[in-house]
Chains A and B, each alone.
Chain A
Amino acid sequence: MPSPVMTEETLKEQYDILFDNTPCFVAVIDRDFRIIQANRKFRETFGESYGRFCYEMYKDKTERCPNCPAEAAFSTGVEHTSTQTGVDRDGRETHYVVTATPLRGAANGSVKAVMEIAIDVTRLRELEEEKLVAERLAAVGQTVAGLAHGVKNVITGLEGGLYVMKSGLKNADVEQLGKGLSMLDNNIERISHFVKEFLGFAKGRLPQTQWINPNGVARDVVELYRETAARAGIALTAEFQDFIPEAPFDPEGLHTCLANLVSNALDACAMTEKKDARVIVRTKKENDIIIFEVTDNGIGMDCEVKKKVFTNFFSTKGSGKGTGIGLLITKKIVQEHGGRVDVVSEPGQGSTFRLIFPVSRLPNPTNESCAAPRNQAAPALQDEEKAHSRC
């Protein structure tokens, strides 16, 4: 049987090996925020650190970071996790998910130090950003393809007008001549309207993101369409989840998206002769995802239409009632917020459109001096803090 001294030495050795070889950054921080222990990966990435401040090592700063998870762990005595942005010893921007765990001197004793375990998610973040860029480029490609598609009908109408007019001239048929001219007029007007809408879409506007109450925008849209719905005999109702925290959105962009969806839903209801036509606007937050939902029991869409609604200047509202740009704009704005649009629809039964925004992918507020949300901590300009405690 090994002696107690040997066992202690062996354990110490095993502990050192485990600590040093842990494949993430591990640092133990005292109440002065000085590093009193760091593993090899930490030392290799940030340099020798014993006795130096953690914010100095992680971020090359001279003062504590806002929303520091270690500070939260010291003050609350429970574990905190947050996403942080720092710089490595070569000055490269690095993103981490940091978990700060309080270390107590004895059972139920005061917190003497905090162990910070950080995982480098820089590559993950880069991939997320690359995906966002790819999604935006794909949207541009689809828009260009959609423009060509939308123009085809107008060209056919113009060719038709010209043909009918020539035919009227040839046959000295004044009525047919007038018909041809009217067809030309209609389609020139359509293409003018179409081009103006497309230019507006292509030029767009830079999202002006600020902390807003998501329910507030949804409420405005419901109020905007309340009278229109009432006149059409359609029940427009709101079902908003209480206490959805403020989040960074472009309020005008979000308003446009919801207005497009509600307008489409009312049109879908108007195409049916249902006596109980209804449109419901819902908001909810599930697992850090904010969802806006517009449901109607209108005409619904078959698979052919569902596949096209977001990819083209595609409209099934009938001649002169739409260019199909609304959902394209909606998709663009939602993508700019890092979100996506889902649709569920059955012909004759109705449709549900969902705007799905993971909070972690929402853009930073455009104006740095924007007021912080009233119901959560101010975001650091560089950090995307999502501190939460696990008691």
Chain B
Amino acid sequence: MIESRKCKENFMPGSLLSKLKTRIPSETADRNNGHVRVLIIEDEPDIAAYLQILLKEYGFEAACETDATRAIAAAETFRPDVICLDMVMPKKTGLTLFMALKKHPELCHIPVVVVSALHPQRDFDDMPFEDFVRKHGIPAPDVWLEKPIDRAAFLETIRVVIGKKRHESPTFS
């Protein structure tokens, strides 16, 4: 069923946002997302299960890691095409993990979609998240989706991010 709710304001690069807006809503669209691997790093088991079931229903291969301290190892093993990353987690926060992922020689190229209850501008008082990571020489996340997510936008975001990665990375198989 197509979501009637207005698509939430999300942080993402302008070109990607406009591309996405022209394609939403499409929750019922193409379910043939053959073998695209998505790793969900989310400490809330219910939300992790929700995203995993949703992605599987739409043809993605999805795995969850609810313990942030094991997230890097999970990514090294699972080798996802895209990572969905929560921000507020015990033991290790999304910010720390994001920085670690982007500094990891084998994982740094993996697109990251932040799925968080935090807003990248409003909830970072001193400096917007994007500016903060750039200050540390790290590119901003590909997309930032604020919870609660719009399912159609979430699914389309994953597809667009993968498409962008395929387009920009000729070595991607």
Contact = CB atoms under 8 A, between A and B. Distances in A.
A302 B90 CA distance: 11
B126 interface: yes
Contacts of A316: 88-91, 93
Contacts of B151: 163
B44 A308 contact: no
A314 B49 CA distance: 22
Contacts of A159: 50, 148-149
Interface in B12-64: 43-47, 49-51, 53-54, 57
A302 B87 CA distance: 12
B91 A299 contact: yes
Given A304-B87, A316-B90, A152 B50 contact: no
Given A304-B93, A307-B124, A316-B90, A153 B44 contact: yes
B115 to A, nearest CB: 8
A161 B90 CA distance: 23
A252 B47 CA distance: 37
A380 B25 CA distance: 70
A149 interface: yes
Given A302-B95, A304-B93, A156 B49 contact: no
A312 B50 CA distance: 25
Interface in A167-212: 167, 176, 179, 183, 186-187
Interface in A331-377: 347
Interface string A205-242: 00000000000000000000000000000000000000
A244 B151 CA distance: 58
B156 to A, nearest CB: 16
Interface in B59-115: 87-91, 93-96
A350 B147 CA distance: 30
B126 A160 contact: no
A308 B123 contact: yes
Interface in B110-134: 117-118, 123-126
Contacts of A111: none
Contacts of A305: 88, 93
B125 A307 contact: yes
A156 B90 contact: no
A179 to B, nearest CB: 7
A271 interface: yes
B46 A187 contact: yes
A157 B95 contact: no
Given A302-B95, A314-B88, A157 B44 contact: yes
Contacts of B51: 160
A160 B90 contact: no
B93 A183 contact: no
Contact of A160 (B47, B89, B118): B47
B146 interface: yes
A174 to B, nearest CB: 15
A157 B124 CA distance: 24
* Chain B binding surface SS class: loop
Contacts of B43: 318-319
Interface size on B, as a range, is 20 to 34
Given A157-B44, A318-B43, A318-B90, A164 B95 contact: no
B105 to A, nearest CB: 22
Interface string A147-159: 0011011011101
B49 A160 contact: yes
B93 A153 contact: no
Interface in A306-332: 307-308, 312, 314-319
Given A149-B118, A153-B117, A161 B147 contact: no
Nearest to A153: B117
Contact of B149 (A156, A307, A317): A156
A157 B117 contact: no
Given A307-B125, A318-B90, A319-B43, A183 B50 contact: yes
Contact of B53 (A149, A156, A163, A308): A163
Contact of A302 (B47, B96, B124, B125): B96
B53 A164 contact: yes
A159 B151 CA distance: 10
B146 A157 contact: no
Given A271-B90, A307-B124, A156 B147 contact: yes
A163 B94 CA distance: 25
Interface centre among B43, B44, B95 (most CB of A within 10 A): B44
21 contacts: A149-B123, A152-B117, A156-B147, A156-B148, A157-B47, A160-B54, A163-B53, A164-B50, A167-B53, A183-B46, A183-B49, A186-B46, A187-B46, A304-B95, A304-B96, A305-B93, A307-B126, A308-B123, A317-B90, A319-B45, A347-B96
The 9 closest A-B pairs by CB, nearest first: A160-B50, A152-B117, A157-B46, A304-B95, A318-B90, A155-B148, A156-B148, A156-B147, A183-B46
Interface of B: 43-47, 49-51, 53-54, 57, 87-91, 93-96, 117-118, 123-126, 146-149, 151
Given A153-B47, A183-B49, 8 more contacts: A150-B117, A156-B47, A156-B117, A157-B50, A167-B57, A176-B53, A312-B123, A319-B46
